[in-house]
Amino acid sequence: MAHATVSKAPDALRTIGEVSADTGIATHILRYWERNVADLRPLRRAGRRYYRVADVALVQRLQQLVADQGYTLEGAARALHGGDAPQSVQPQQSAGQPDLALLLRVRARLQAALDAN
């Protein structure tokens, strides 16, 4: 079902469908993220989810970490709290090929250290 794009005030609440359309993240993925990221808790009224501006910003930041920087969802949630991505998982490597996700995490940690100085 296609929804017409409605212009809303920047601070207006967004439905899960609107957030999905704006970010390109499927609604079932957003619901999964809600269950697994403690900070992502949209309002619920009459059986519907309403995302606040901060919720949408969190979704966008998670998307950036997961899709662009190679974090797992758990690692992205930790990174948002100043922690590191999980270290207990050994990266899978092809013969002679470094793991891209591992390299991206290292780059992000190095950049964060540089930004802190």
- The 10s digit of each residue's pLDDT in 12-40 is 999 999 999 999 999 999 999 999 999 99
Per-residue pLDDT tens over the stretch 39-94: 999 999 998 999 999 999 999 999 999 998 889 999 898 888 776 544 433 344 44
SS3 108: helix
Distance spanning both ends of the chain, measured CA to CA: 49
Domains of the chain: 14-116 (1.10.1660.10)
Residues in the chain, overall count? 117
Residues 76/106, Cβ–Cβ less than 8 Å: no
Q: Specify the pTM.
A: 0.64
The beta-strand segments (E) located in the chain are: 14-15, 43-45, 48-51
